[in-house]
């Protein structure tokens, strides 16, 4: 029997904790409040690094890494606010876009459900990304105009943003609350229109 065994389970338990402390760069013996604070900080740092690692590893999280604050814990602000039942579908769509698990070809293609990621709603031959759908696709111009005119009246500076940054604004946390409902209405409208176009083409997804 080696040294770590045979001295009873409490010795093994202590060894386990010692190794854990070593791994976490524990600065030596600590009193309870200090130990608690240190443990919390360690857990928080591990969660952040795991999330950041996921951003690199998982392609569906690629967009999310541009839009979310990596240091945030708990629910993002837009999910904490009350949302009328009629607009919840729009809010759900925002979350799906943020998570990369939406119906657009740029996501479903990755999951090998369709042959290519080309936008089925217009003639541009562009990949059907979130940015293309929300800000570029000609199929949704009317709905987009309604949304953008409201956005510019609330945030005039948004006029100067390019589509990539406009996308970051609507997907991120700094979207003014006054524009939130208009955004959800926009998401719901284009999602319905898109489904209509696909149904006409005989696909329906």
Binding site for Zn ion (CB under 5 A): 119, 121-122, 137
By beta-carbon proximity to Zn ion, the closer residue of 137 and 175 is 137
**Least separation, in Å, of the C-beta of 104 and Zn ion?**
10
List all residues 6 or more positions away from 201 whose beta carbon is below 8 Å from its beta carbon: 120
∠ CA 161-167-172, nearest 5°, is 110
**Least separation, in Å, of the C-beta of 110 and Zn ion?**
18
**Least separation, in Å, of the C-beta of 182 and Zn ion?**
21
**Least separation, in Å, of the C-beta of 53 and Zn ion?**
33
Which neighbouring-strand residues pair with 127? Answer: 118
By beta-carbon proximity to Zn ion, the closer residue of 122 and 170 is 122
By beta-carbon proximity to Zn ion, the closer residue of 122 and 188 is 122
With b for 16 or more beta-carbon neighbours within 10 A and e for fewer, the 92-124 pattern comes to: ebbebbbebebebbbbbbeeeeeeebebbbbee
**Least separation, in Å, of the C-beta of 72 and Zn ion?**
32
By beta-carbon proximity to Zn ion, the closer residue of 98 and 144 is 144
User: Please, are residues 72 and 78 in contact by the beta-carbon 8 Å criterion?
Assistant: no
By beta-carbon proximity to Zn ion, the closer residue of 15 and 109 is 109
How far, in Å, are 14, 103, 162, 184 from residue 85 at the CA level? 53, 22, 32, 11
User: Please, are residues 31 and 38 in contact by the beta-carbon 8 Å criterion?
Assistant: no
């Amino acid at each position: 029997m080696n040294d770590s065994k045979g001295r009873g389970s409490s010795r093994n338990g202590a060894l386990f904790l010692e190794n854990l402390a070593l791994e976490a760069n524990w600065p030596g013996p600590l009193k309870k409040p200090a130990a608690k604070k240190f443990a919390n900080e360690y857990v928080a740092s591990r969660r952040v690094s795991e999330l950041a690692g996921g951003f690199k590893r998982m392609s569906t999280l690629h967009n999310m890494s541009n839009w979310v604050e990596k240091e945030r814990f708990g629910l993002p602000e837009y999910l904490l606010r009350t949302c009328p039942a009629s607009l919840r579908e729009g809010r759900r769509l925002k979350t799906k876009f943020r998570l990369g698990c939406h119906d657009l070809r740029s996501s479903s293609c990755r999951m090998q459900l369709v042959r290519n990621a080309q936008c089925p709603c217009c003639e541009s031959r562009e990949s059907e990304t979130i940015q293309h759908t929300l800000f570029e696709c000609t199929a949704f111009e009317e709905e987009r105009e309604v949304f953008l005119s409201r956005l510019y009246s609330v945030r005039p500076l948004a006029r100067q943003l390019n589509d990539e940054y406009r996308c970051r604004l609507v997907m991120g946390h700094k979207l003014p609350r006054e524009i939130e409902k208009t955004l959800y209405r926009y998401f719901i409208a284009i999602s319905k229109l898109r489904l209509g176009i696909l149904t006409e083409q005989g696909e329906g997804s």
